[in-house]
Amino acid sequence: MSLTIEIAPLANGNQRLALAGRLDTHTYSELDTQLAPMLASGIQSLVLDLAGLEYISSAGVRSIFKARKALAAHGGKVVVVNPQPQIQKVFDVVKAVPLEEIFPTMEEADAYLDAMQRKVLNTDPDDD
């Protein structure tokens, strides 16, 4: 099986990608190729929706780790949403993605990203 990558339009410095299929030694370069210009553009956060991801190898984990490192260099974050149980287990085992950056739903990820950005901007949510 191959890897499918759906890229949502950039919104407020946040980039969303939905991955489906297998992220392994045969497909990780597809993800790296898609991520390279996004990471170079200075996005603030990258949301990886893994609802359709069935398998991840160490090569796939490395791609996510590289993205985290690139964004962390300028205060950005990578968050993971909707991981399948087998994918979550891989993250648990390798500790590649901190548990506080994995969310069961997109809504929880959005709430986290909103809070993170408000913290940076030092704004009160009641001011909106």
**Which of the pair, 5 or 122, is modelled with greater confidence?**
5
pTM of the model: 0.77
Cα distance between residue 33 and residue 124, in whole Å: 38
pLDDT, tens digit (0-9, with 9 covering 90-100), for 82-121: 999 888 888 877 775 665 667 777 677 667 756 765 665 6
Asked if 124 and 100 touch (Cβ cutoff 8 Å), the reply is no
Provide the pLDDT for residue 99.
59
43-94 tens-digit pLDDT: 999 999 999 999 998 889 889 999 999 999 999 999 999 999 888 888 877 7
Residues 6+ apart with CB under 8 A from 105: 81, 82
Going by pLDDT thresholds of 50, 70 and 90, the confidence category of residue 31 is: very high
112-to-27, 97, 127 alpha-carbon distances in Å? 29, 15, 18
Asked if the model's pLDDT at residue 33 lies above 90, the reply is yes
What domains are there in the chain, each with its CATH number? 3-127 (3.30.750.24)
- Cα–Cα dist 50/97, whole Å: 13
12's torsion region: left (phi>0), alpha (psi -120 to 50) or beta? Answer: left
How is residue 20 annotated by DSSP? E
